[in-house]
Structure 1
Amino acid sequence: MKRRYFFSSLTRISGLSETPFSVEPLARRHWETGDYVVGEVASSPGGAARVELPSGRMVEVVEGDLVVGAFGVRYATLEAVGGWQNIGFDRRMEALTSAGLFGRSTSRSTLLPALLTLDYRGHATRGGEKVTMRTSVPPVPERGFAIPTVLLVGTSMSAGKTTTAKVVIRLLREAGLSCVGAKLTGAGRYRDILAMGDAGAEHILDFVDAGLPSTVVPESEYRGALRGLLSRIAATEADVLVAEVGASPLEPYNGQAAIEELGEHVRCTILSASDPYAVTGVISAFGKRPDLVTGLATSTRAGTELVRKLSGIPALNVLDRESFPQIRTILDRTLALREVALS
């Protein structure tokens, strides 16, 4: 009986689900970041675990199922750290994200449920050649990037960046502007940019579209991939880019490099903070002051008042619709929205 494959969302650029491929175990010296590989579920927490499909839908997998993902590295402050380089001689690996980023954890939060465990069964190949994320990206004509950008950064992961992005996109769309929603750094997970599309972004892109399972790669490799991604974004000719830098700019996801590549096109910077005191820490370490603070730190009036007291920066709870007029004012001032709308 032909066995069924579950294709994780990292395969969405590969065509693996539509085009036949072979599974060939390769010697470790041939393994690299971004290789598409097949793992057989060895154990799943609670008898079942969920994998994110190319559509963004979550599906349960159980022991014996075959899952197609990609080798990568994750360095999450609140969840798990690890990568494919840590896979041992037993070739047992874990899904470091539900999107199919495969590796072996070296550090994991005690608050995180057990990771989905898989046994390496081989690389996806066609014509005897590895199928990889980088080779799955079509050539992109180089194009100068000059789209006004709202940059979303955080004090850590899960600080509220994507929630803020959705509100910003909705307000920009209400102003009659076309938007691109993009996640420029982080570890692959499709649902974040899908949420931006649900909020009204006409185009959604992330580093997976540039051939990276996560952005924990050498800086030179990341910058090359990002420039191709920015060319694709420029080709949309959207009025505004709402760009999220996953985790925080100071973590090893190349957030600082992303901000440098965007350069003068960043018109508005919004910091999502997990704690009021973290705001001053990021400002001190990063050397830049945001135009607005949002996130978990602004959940109550006590939080917003403390942020303002510590930093002197406006702090707003984006889940409170009464804050929308103030957010509109900040976007109008920093982006010169009337000029953009008339151009």
Structure 2
Amino acid sequence: MNTRIKKGMLCNHINPTRLISPESLPADTAFQAGDVAVFEVLEIGKHTQLQSAGRNLSILPGDQLMCVFGTRYATNQFEGYIPAQIQDEYHLLGGGGVVGILESTHTKYEKEGPTRLKLIGIAVDLKGQIINTIRERKHSIKKFTGKEAFKTKVILSLGSSMDSGKTTTAAFLGHGFAKKGISSAYIKLTGTAYPKDKNLAYDLGACVSVDFSKLGYPSTYLSSEAEILNLYETLLAEVNSKNPEFVIVEIADGLFQRETRMLLQNPVFMSTVHQVVFSAGDSLSAVHGMETLINWGIMPSALSGLFTASTLLIKEVKEYLYEKQDLLFMPILNLEDLSLGRWPEIQRGYNLLQA
């Protein structure tokens, strides 16, 4: 086996006994999320690097990559799925080493497209079983009870869409906690495997920072509700070992994304939440995101996100929410406010509609 195989972040510890060539597999072989395989780079597209466990690895045509099959939902990048059968070509859907078949692309990446791959072989263990990163960690997954959430205070960081500022909000909220001498942890509960978000949160002050990929998941897109709740319980148990006063839990993408909506409309999940901070990219998404959450019975404790960089957008949001919705108590926090720990509603529970 090629000793220069470049491994994606979920494959660092994996050393397969052998590879099964695609020619040796039945044509109708159906891969599963987390299945490990080795691919040859055919053509470089959007992704020019592969995130390994330690650093970004530059990749070129002819390189061999060890990656995992998975899905991706990213409105500003790629939508992709695991193929139902063996294909002549595959696509690198995420820089962490998630591979599938591209379904749709944001127009800004249409010209360059995805990095194209050819399947060399499926990684198998001593028993001849396909190595699967999710199955490897199955024994570590705890069944959801909600008990771990009540050992701390969970703050959800939500956004109106991808790139609305929810990760930055979460990280700077943790930074403000650290400045106040308050211990906080960070969890990225849903999304596609990539370490940037959890690294930012840790660098800015979280005492511990983890995400779903730690449990072998290349992505949470199309995972069942039970799976995500079990991930929530398991990751909370891990960070609770540090006894944080708060745990900031980020849920990827916008309110209408499948897993986000599923969680927010689950009363058992929401009963474990102390507070919600909602981030939006502009005034319209801030206002209508608030209206959506209120319709779902959720009252955020604060607004933040990209729109807070503009005085005019903040003014528009205030005019609507304060005058039209009578939400005079609603704080709008920019990065400075978050970083300095200015959270007037920090002890308020999220569901003021039922208070």
Superposition TM-score, scaled by structure 1 size: 0.86
- Between the aligned partners of 2:142 and 2:253, the Cα distance in structure 1 is 30
Choose the corresponding residue for 2:233, options 200, 208, 227. 227
Q: Select the residue among 301, 313, 330 that pairs with 2:345.
A: 330
Residue-pair matches, total: 325
1:248-289 deviations in Å (ceiling 9; x for gaps): 232023453277464333222111101211123223333223
Percent of pairs with identical residues: 22
Corresponding residue number in structure 2 for 1:22: 18
Equivalent residue for 1:308, pick from 313, 318, 337: 318
Contact 1:181 1:197 in 2 (8 A): yes
Gap change, CA 1:134 and 1:273, over 3 Å in 2? same
Return the alpha-carbon distance in structure 2 between the equivalents of residues 264 and 3 of structure 1. Answer: 50
CA contact (8 A) 2:158 2:166 kept: yes
Aligned residues of 2:337 and 2:343 also touching (Cα < 8 A): no
CA deviation map 1:2-61 (0-9, x unaligned): 44111112335xx21xx4542223444341111112111010139x81111112x22210
TM superposition score normalised by structure 2: 0.83
Inter-partner Cα distance in structure 1 for 2:304 and 2:84: 36
Shift of 1:231: 3.0
Taking the aligned partners of 1:2 and 1:76, their CA distance within structure 2 comes to 32
Question: Alignment partner of 2:312: what SS?
Answer: helix
Separation in structure 2 between the aligned mates of residue 323 and residue 240 of structure 1, nearest angstrom: 14
Pairwise CA distance, 1:324: 4.8
| Structure 1 position 276 matched with structure 2 position 293 | no
Task: Please name the residue that 1:67 is paired with.
Answer: 65
**1:137-176 counterparts in 2 under 5 A?**
137=137, 138-140=139-141, 144-145=147-148, 146=150, 147-176=152-181
Alignment partner of 1:121 is 2:120: yes
Contact kept in structure 2, 1:270 and 1:292, CA below 8 Å: yes
Instruction: Kindly indicate whether the alpha-carbon contact (under 8 Å) linking 1:38 and 1:123 is maintained by their aligned counterparts in 2.
Output: yes
SS in 2 for 1:23: strand
Matched, 1:109 2:136: no
The reply on whether 1:197 has 2:194 as its aligned counterpart is no
Q: Which runs of 5+ in 2 are unaligned?
A: 323-329, 350-355
Question: AA paired with 1:305?
Answer: K
Given the alignment, which residue of 206, 231, 247 partners 1:241?
247
1-structure distance, mates of 2:132, 2:176: 38
Q: Secondary structure at the match of 1:42?
A: strand
The 1:37/1:99 distance shift into structure 2, 3 A limit, reads: same
Residues 63-106 of structure 1, C-alpha deviations (whole Å, 9 max, x = no match): 1111111111112222111111267631x111111111111111
Distance, in Å, in 2 between the alignment partners of 1:322 and 1:184 is 25
